[in-house]
Amino acid sequence: MRRIETLSVHAGRDDFASLGVHAAPIDLSTTYPVHDLIAGTASFDALVSGAASAANPIYARLHNPTVARTEQAIAALEGSESCVAFGSGMAALSALLLARRAIGSHVLVVRPIYGSADHLLACGTLGLDAEFVAVGEIASKRRADTSLIIIETPANPTLKLVDIRAVVAAAGDVPVMVDSTFATPILQNPMALGARYVLHSATKFLGGHGDVIAGVICCADADAMPLRQMRALTGALLHPLAAYLLQRGLATLALRVERAQSNAIQIAERLAGHRSIAKVYFPGFAECAEAHLVGSHAGAQMRGPGALMAMELHGGFSAAAAAMAAVKLITPAVSLGSVDSLIQHPSGLTHRVVDEQARAAHGITPGLLRLSVGIEHVDDLWADLDQALLKAVGAARVAPTRAAMPA
């Protein structure tokens, strides 16, 4: 069995030798000639019922070879039979809800999760009954019509870890979906712990360069068929150019995650001693309640803490806003998992769409910033963060109440 560093580079390249190429070809055809109608009909039938491939792709909404290669690469990394790629992480989540017949049913969700996912589930537009519960409540809240259990670990934006084995044990025969975007397949493989589906916003670490929007679901082949069928029916496709960029990004995934993580470990330690910071949320910290889930020991679920952290600033919103304004090297922007470092304000941006009481209950405060650490030199990152945070405490001292977050 090849190691993940090797798979990162080589997975999804199986047909290169027979094609006589060294880099992935990009197939932009929207349609494919059907000279043999009997064979074409068979291919059509196979693809509309969710087959992974057919002799003739027929039409690009049914199949695309460039996208299929990227899916094979991600499945190899996640250790799943299949991977189905969509136009975004949100398209992937929506397709899963449709494919599981979640509309009109009950869905259990453990908060916190990505802001837009929370919004999609809570706002009611889909016509499903989403109930937000703690892990300990799953077994008692499960109903006959519960179609899916959704968790995210590490969770966005507070890096809270959810014990995947505990959720699977409480789920009974209800399928569990884990959003593993923050961990990547380099650090965590939820299916090995009993999850039925793994979702990645491939926009983040998998693409890794801030230039692709994509989402994937990894699962067993039998579960992938209805997802592919849903993708063909609703058209929530990943474009082949985006798939190409995504596969290109995968080659350096292991390297990028290792470097970003080692930077993050050093930054989290320095932040914990910084006078502007009231609290650092980082999965690797011993004081983090779920620290036992990180490491190489039995019972761990994540091989390392990853490259994201959140920090609560002294001085609340005005300090957080001042830090966003003061960074020079780090980009003040939403998204994460890019080669460059990004800092953002969850309660004002990504998690603004989440119910206000739920935000407060899960520590998504006006003084919270989330940092996605990139692969730059750690000392350059620290120099920028340090000067921005010193300006932030200064600003909070001068104007503790002047700046309030818009309602």
Ligand X SMILES: *Cc1c(COP(=O)(O)O)cnc(C)c1O
Closest CA to 362 of 155, 165, 182: 155
Token digits for 241? 């150019």
Active-site residue, 27 included: no
Of 43 and 338, nearer to ligand X (C-beta) is 338
Interface residue with ligand X among 27, 78, 118, 152 (CB under 6 A) is: 152
Closest CA relative to residue 164, chosen from 299, 61, 68, 51: 299
Selected catalytic residue, list 13, 27, 114, 281: 114
In this chain, which stretch among 83-91, 140-148, 316-324, 382-390 interacts with ligand X, using CB under 6 A? 83-91
Q: Which is nearer to ligand X, 276 or 281 (CB)?
A: 281
The candidate with the shortest Cα–Cα distance to 80, out of 165, 199, 162, is 199
Residue of 69, 100, 204, 259 marked catalytic: 204
Q: Which two tokens mark 29?
A: 């055809």
Residue count at the site for ligand X (CB under 6 A)?
14
Is residue 391 among the annotated active site residues?
no
Is 328 among the residues known to form the active site?
A: no
> Residues 164 to 203: which contact ligand X by CB under 6 A?
179, 181, 201, 203
Other beta carbons less than 10 A from residue 9's beta carbon: 15
CA distance 118 to 113: 6
Site for ligand X in 57-76 (CB under 6 A): none
Q: What is the residue-wise DSSP string for 253-304?
A: HHHHHHHHHHHHHHHHHHHHT-TTEEEEE-TT-TTSTTGGGBSSSTT--BSS
The nearest distance, CB 260 to ligand X, in angstroms, is 15
Structure tokens at 7: 């798979």
Judge contact between 329 and 273, C-beta under 8 A: no
Residues 99-118 contacting ligand X, CB under 6 A: 114, 117
Residues facing residue 179 across a β-bridge: 152, 199
CB of residue 336 to ligand X, shortest distance in Å: 6
**Known catalytic membership, residue 173:** no
Residue 144's SS3 state is: coil
Least Cβ distance, residue 207 to ligand X (angstroms): 9
Nearer residue to ligand X within complex by CB, 183 or 320: 183
Residues 211-230 that bind ligand X (CB under 6 A): 213, 215
Nearer to ligand X, 64 or 88 (CB): 88
Nearer to ligand X, 90 or 354 (CB): 90
Name the minimum Å distance from CB 205 to ligand X: 10
State which amino acid sits at residue 101. R
Strand partners, 85: 216
Minimum CB distance to ligand X smaller for 8 or for 156? 156
Taking the complex as a whole, how short is the minimal distance between the CB of residue 350 and ligand X, in angstroms?
8
Taking the least distance from each CB to ligand X, the nearer of 94 and 146 is 94
Given the residues 27, 118, 163, 179, the one annotated as active site: 179
Residue located via tokens 């179609």: 147
CA 41, 45, 47, 52 dihedral sign is negative
Which stretch in 42-50, 84-92, 239-247, 389-397 sits in contact with ligand X by CB under 6 A?
84-92
Do 131 and 149 contact (CB within 8 A), yes or no? no
Residue 358, both tokens = 């739920």
Quick check: 156 binds ligand X (CB under 6 A)? yes
Can you tell me which of 100, 142, 196, 204 binds ligand X, judged by CB under 6 A? Answer: 204
> Should residue 249 be labelled a site residue for ligand X when binding is judged by CB under 6 A?
no
Place of tokens 């990009």: 26
> Following DSSP, what letter does each residue of 148-195 receive, concatenated?
EEEEESSPTTT-----HHHHHHHHTTS-EEEE-TTTHHHH--GGGGT-
Catalytic residue (one of 13, 61, 69, 256): 61
Give me the least distance between CB of 86 and ligand X, in Å please.
9
- Interaction between residue 88 and ligand X (CB under 6 A): yes
Catalytic positions are 61, 114, 179, 204
* Footprint on this chain of ligand X (rule: CB under 6 A): 88-90, 114, 117, 152, 156, 179, 181, 201, 203-204, 213, 215
